[in-house]
Structures are given as structure tokens and as C-alpha cells.
Amino acid sequence: MKQYTIDELRVEDYCKIRSHMEEFHNDNCIEGIYRIFLDDNLLSDEQKEHASECGPFYFAVELDSQSASFEFLVRAKNKIRCGCIRYADKKQRDWLIDYVDSTFNQISVIT
């Protein structure tokens, strides 16, 4: 799996990240798994065409006490398999990395 991973988290950083994820990205019922939804302006043409049937689209995040992993696979909330579910293009990947980095700066996480 292609992903952006931050490992060797300090306990206080894990707590800050978890608190942020619980507040802003917790619509999932699996402990330690979160979703970061993409804005419509980031979607590929195919994802835009499939938005009502397959979407919304998101990046999955796995957080544990040691690491935070942000998958580069763009998933669809309403389908498991479809051509619109694919690895992020450059724009989507860059957006995710920038989002994570700026969020970590805002919540004062040291990486």
C-alpha cells in the first residue's frame, strides 16, 4: 500500500493527533481508523462522474500509539470496487501531504 507514514510518535503527539482525528475525521466505527474526505475540486473526472453513486471520496488513516499512516488510495464511501477507486493523482497526493503537515503544525505535533 502506498502511504504517507509518520512513525516514532511521542505519547503527547499521539494524544494530540488522536484528539484532532476524533473531532474532525471520526465518522467510522473502527477504533484507530479515520477518514479524510476530499473536496469536490480535487476529484478526477471519473470520480466527479461517480460522486453521487460511489462518493463521497476519502483517504483512510490508521493511527496507533506509534505511527500515523495516511493511505494514498482514494476510496469511495458507498462502493468497495469501481474504476473511480484508485491511487491519488499528484494533485490529490500533494493535497493530502500538505493537509497532514499543516494540521500537525497547527496542533503542535513534532515530526
pLDDT tens digit sequence for 36-63 = 999 999 999 999 999 999 999 999 999 9
pLDDT tens digit sequence for 2-11 = 999 999 999 9
* Contact present, 37 and 58 (Cβ < 8 Å): yes
* Contact present, 69 and 5 (Cβ < 8 Å): yes
Which pTM value belongs to this model? 0.91
Q: Which amino acid is at 12?
A: E
Q: How far is it, in rounded angstroms, from Cα 88 to Cα 73?
A: 6
First to last CA, the chain: 22
Q: Which amino acid is at 37?
A: F
Q: How far is it, in rounded angstroms, from Cα 62 to Cα 34?
A: 7
